[in-house]
Amino acid sequence: MQNFVVNIFGSEYNIKADRDGEYVLKVAEVVDKKMREISAQYRQPTPVRTAVLACMNLVDESFRKNEAEIEWTRRQVGLLIEKLAKVV
């Protein structure tokens, strides 16, 4: 485990991670960017509320991406099954 210091939404956080520093900084940048977007868009009264909305948005984006990837995989498998059926 390595220790890292990251800045998110104006606050510094000490992070322990088993990933490299570049990865940890990239994750922190994504979180910081999303919190700033939420803050500018919704003007939440506290950083905690901004963080919760940012997390909700990031998880929603992740779920949607996963759903899209699953649907794409299903379509590809369906096409392969059709091709195999024609050959057999």
Question: pLDDT per residue over 5-50, tens digit each?
Answer: 999 999 999 999 999 999 999 999 999 999 999 999 988 889 999 9
Q: Please calculate the CA angle 43-50-67 and round it to the nearest 5 degrees.
A: 115
The answer to whether the predicted template modeling score (pTM) of the entire model surpasses 0.85 is: no
Question: pLDDT per residue over 39-80, tens digit each?
Answer: 999 888 899 999 999 999 999 999 999 999 999 999 999 999
pLDDT of residue 80: 95
* The residue to which tokens 């779920």 are assigned: 63
pLDDT of residue 66: 95
Dump the DSSP string for the chain. -EEEEEEETTEEEEEEESS-HHHHHHHHHHHHHHHHHHHHHH--SSHHHHHHHHHHHHHHHHHHHHHHHHHHHHHHHHHHHHHHHHH-
pLDDT of residue 45: 86
